[in-house]
Amino acid sequence: MAGGIKVWPEAERPREKLLNRGVDTLTDAELLALILRTGDASTGQSAIDLGRQLLLEFGDLRTLASAGVVEICRVKGAGTAKAASIIAALELANRCQGRRLANGDRFTSPQQVYEHYNFTYRDRRKEYFLALLLDGKNRVIREVRISEGSLNQSIVHPREVFNPAVRESAAAIILVHNHPTGDPAPSREDREITRRLKEAGDLMGVKVLDHIIIGDGAFISFTSEGML
């Protein structure tokens, strides 16, 4: 409709609809419109039109949440500011869904680590390898991202894992990475990297407590499966 959302009947505008009838009455496109705020003035496209176009391009919100700035900006009318707003809003939604591990929290189970990372990494299109540094009471000191991309022994090298552990005086570490395929079953490379890092940790006095692989709605714990 020419003139954008402002000329719509008030009851049909996303903001008013949310305030008067509740957030659950809004479609995905209308929720995106509230994040986008404006459409594309050059074409007369409203924020809802742009929201619909984004959903048409990416298929659903979950796929959109895994897209980067460049990918979102390929949709006409979605510039860098709108892309940043979308990414920030959907990341907040991801963080709300999981039970977060904060610095000082005590590690108690692989499930706890899975719930912390699941919504952030389950839809990533690349593999990310991280290490959680723990103190002598299994409390989280901090998280370190070791590598980004397909795992191999050259990018997941013991020095990249244990240098920060030594600097932080960590007593133990937990290895975490995701499988973009959604299947958390460990590959031969995963097993070999875990073996090498455990041996290096034993030599340095930093215990590798677990290696947890995040899939889509599932995870594998090397310790729980007797592989560590």
Spell out the domain ranges in the chain. Answer: 5-97, 110-221
Amino acid of residue 154? S
pTM: 0.66
Per-residue buried b or exposed e for 70-91, using 16+ beta carbons within 10 Å of the residue's own CB: ebbbebebbeeebbebbbebbe
Across the chain, mean pLDDT equals: 86
Q: Could you tell me the sign of the dihedral formed by the alpha carbons of 153, 155, 156, 159, in that order?
A: positive
Q: 200 exposed, middle or buried (CB, 10 Å; 0-12, 13-18, 19+)?
A: middle
What pLDDT does 105 receive? 77
Residue 60 has pLDDT above 90, yes or no: no
pLDDT in tens, 162-197: 999 999 999 999 999 999 888 999 999 999 999 999
CATH architecture observed for domain 5-97: Orthogonal Bundle (1.10)
What pLDDT does 102 receive? 66
pLDDT in tens, 14-50: 888 888 888 888 899 999 999 998 888 787 888 889 9
Topology of 110-221 in CATH? Cytidine Deaminase; domain 2 (3.40.140)
Residue 116 has pLDDT above 60, yes or no: yes
What pLDDT does 227 receive? 92
